Amino acid sequence: KLEKFPQNFLWGAASAAYQIEGGWNSDGKGPSIWDQFTKIPGKTFQGTNGDIAVDHYNRYKEDVKLMADMGLKAYRFSLAWSRILPDGSGEINEKGLAFYENLINELIKHNIEPVLTLYHWDIPQALQDRYNGWESRQVIDDFDNYARILFKRFKDKVKYWVSFNEQNVFTALGYRWEAHPPNLSDVKKMFEANHIINLANAKAINSFHELVPDGLIGPSFGYGPMYSFNCEPENVLATLNGEEFQNHWWLDVYVNGKYPKATFKQLVKLGVAPTVEEGDLQLLQSAKPDFLGVNYYHGGTVRANEIEFPSGDNDAGLEKSFEATDPYLMKPKEEQAQTPEKRMFSNVSNPFLEKTKWGWEIDPVGIRIALRRLQNRYDLPMMITENGLGAFDDLTNERTIEDDYRIEYLRGHIIEIQKAITDGVDLIGYCAWSFTDLLSWLNGYQKRYGFVYIDRDEKDEKALERIPKKSYFWYKSVIATNGQN
Ligand code: BGP
């Protein structure tokens, strides 16, 4: 029998500043690296950007009203650093800060718990120009300064704080795959920047514990559990490597202030390990998060790599349907050997799972596996800070959206988190991605996640009209019944 969700479970929804706000240069906001990056031709789907996004900057009251009508208990959103400090440091832009203060007040007025993310990928362009952003240790103090401004200002209003959103994703896509700003393909720089972000995270967490002793802070990590392709021991070993390289590389540092050994050694061999200076590990170890934010979309399936196991034996059961998903498998062997994970594991598709139109595996059981593994290894309270389905939604002639597929997806995952709670996992909330439709970083506005549809086809007074989808009413009843669906 399934246990009930805890009484004060935070049923929420999430968003991020660049994806919803718009007002990219309103009221003194400075540009972020995303304002610049999306203007580079060919970088985003049909050149879409967040200049206007869904105009949440001007319509936040209307959006909060929709949340309140839904009965939402928590709303996770991020702050744009360059709205508050247009130059990255220095003078505070009071108008920018006032926007967030008003938003927070509006949420509190409607009994919605704000969950505030400090960094969701949009460092001020000024800091990128000044010292290459996350590549320089100067950013550690600048981030701490930005965080302290917010801690002091909102400490009596906001209890739940997220430090960094998906550090694994924005470092990989930004420094290695030229898919996010700063648009680089440099593995060494990726690991260096990543280490500096770890230090910035630790310093800010320490500031938080000093300034907001009653609050809770943690990172939101994009976690995907790794599955072994089959029970061949070499593949199982590769899965251990994959789990370490893709997940524990960050999580072990957040929680225990240590890099996992096998991965670190591989990076040293390849000359791409981060420079760990004296005092770094002490700082990392001094700052323990109060909870882990978990963004869950899908996991990954892994088999042994051909570099470490050139016999090819591990391919024995590999059928054609297990199409390789990793661009590096197409590259010559010597080049593959230069990438750390290719010495450790290979990614393959999972034949048991269906995929979304964008190729993301749909795996509700994976969320339970994720929570169980994280609970065992890190033993912290957790909050699902993102989970959702990207889909094309059709507006009917009656101006409704019958998104039963989204309901099915979310219901499947909510049942599994209830099982995880029954297993003993300490879960404090679930924030679906996303509340309204919003900008998908690289996939434009056509890939929709929201409970609330945003009409982008109409002009004038109907432009960007908000229309609750069928899933909005379904989630409303989930919240009202504390998880029955
Ligand atoms: C996460 C991000 C979100 C959101 C989501 C969906 O990685 O934290 O900001 O964008 O993924 O991704 P996408 O928009 O690429 O479908």
pLDDT tens, residue by residue, 396-444: 999 999 999 999 999 999 999 999 999 999 999 999 999 999 999 999 9
pLDDT at position 336: 52
pLDDT at 332: 56
pLDDT single digits (tens) 40-64? 999 998 899 999 999 999 999 999 9
Confidence of residue 338 (pLDDT cuts 50, 70, 90): low
Q: Ligand 1: distance of its center to the CA of 299 in Å?
A: 15
Please give the average per-residue pLDDT across 110-122, as a whole number: 98
128: three-class secondary structure by DSSP: helix
**pLDDT of 322 strictly over 60:** no
**Average pLDDT of the chain to the nearest whole number:** 92
- Average pLDDT for residues 216-239, to the nearest whole number? 95
Q: Can you tell me which atom of ligand 1 is nearest the CA of 297?
A: 11
- Centre of ligand 1 from the C-alpha of residue 211, in Å: 31
Pocket test for ligand 1, best of 120, 433, 437 (most atoms within 8 A of CB): 433
Tokens of 65: 């009203």
Residue 34, both tokens:
């995303």
**Which residue's CA is the nearest one to ligand 1's atom 2?**
166
Q: What is d(CA 261, CA 31) in angstroms, rounded to the nearest whole number?
A: 39
Ligand 1 atom at minimum distance from 442 CA = 15
Closest residue CA from atom 12 of ligand 1: 440
pLDDT-based confidence at residue 341 (cuts at 50, 70, 90): low
Are 231 and 241 contacting, i.e. CB atoms less than 8 angstroms apart?
no
- Sign of the dihedral defined by the CA atoms of residues 179, 40, 76, 418, in that order: negative
Indicate the top mutation candidate among 19, 441, 445 to test ligand 1's pocket, ranked by most ligand atoms within 8 A of CB. Answer: 441
Model confidence at 194: pLDDT above 90: yes
Neighbouring-strand partners of residue 403: none
In three-state secondary structure terms, 151 is: helix
Angle 187-211/167-175 helices, nearest 10 degrees?
A: 150
Q: Whose CA is nearest to atom 6 of ligand 1?
A: 440
Q: How far apart are CA 472 and CA 485, in angstroms?
A: 13
User: Looking at residue 156, what DSSP letter applies?
Assistant: T
Give the pLDDT of residue 269. 85
Query: Other C-beta atoms within 10 Å of 145: how many?
Result: 15
Which residue has a Cα nearest atom 13 of ligand 1? Answer: 440
What residues are labeled active site? 166, 386
Distance CA 68, CA 72 (A): 6
Per-residue model confidence (pLDDT) at position 36: 97
Looking at residues 167-187, what average pLDDT do you find? 93
Residue nearest ligand 1's atom 10 by CA: 440
Give the residue from 170, 182, 167 showing the smallest Cα distance to 133.
Answer: 182
CA–CA separation, 26 vs 40, rounded Å?
21
For the CA of 439, the closest atom of ligand 1 is: 14
The closest-lying atom of ligand 1 relative to the alpha carbon of residue 441 is 14
Q: What is the model's pLDDT at position 318?
A: 36
Using CB distances shorter than 6 Å, the residues near ligand 1 are 16, 165-166, 169, 222, 295, 386, 390, 433, 440-443, 447
Distance from the CA of 164 to the center of ligand 1, in angstroms? 14
pLDDT band at 266 (very low <50, low <70, confident <90, very high): confident
Residue indicated by tokens 């943690």 = 218
pLDDT at 112: 98
Average pLDDT estimate for 129-134: 98
Q: What is the rounded CA–CA span in Å between residue 29 and residue 85?
A: 8
Confidence of residue 214 (pLDDT cuts 50, 70, 90): very high
Average pLDDT over residues 184-188: 91
Residue nearest to atom 9 of ligand 1 (CA): 16
**166 CA: nearest ligand 1 atom:** 8
**Predicted pLDDT at 282:** 98
Confidence band (pLDDT; 50, 70, 90) for 324? very low
pLDDT band at 310 (very low <50, low <70, confident <90, very high): very low
pLDDT at 157 exceeding the cut of 80: yes
Mutate-to-test residue for ligand 1 from 34, 173, 440, highest number of ligand atoms within 8 A of CB: 440
pLDDT category, 331, cuts 50, 70, 90? low
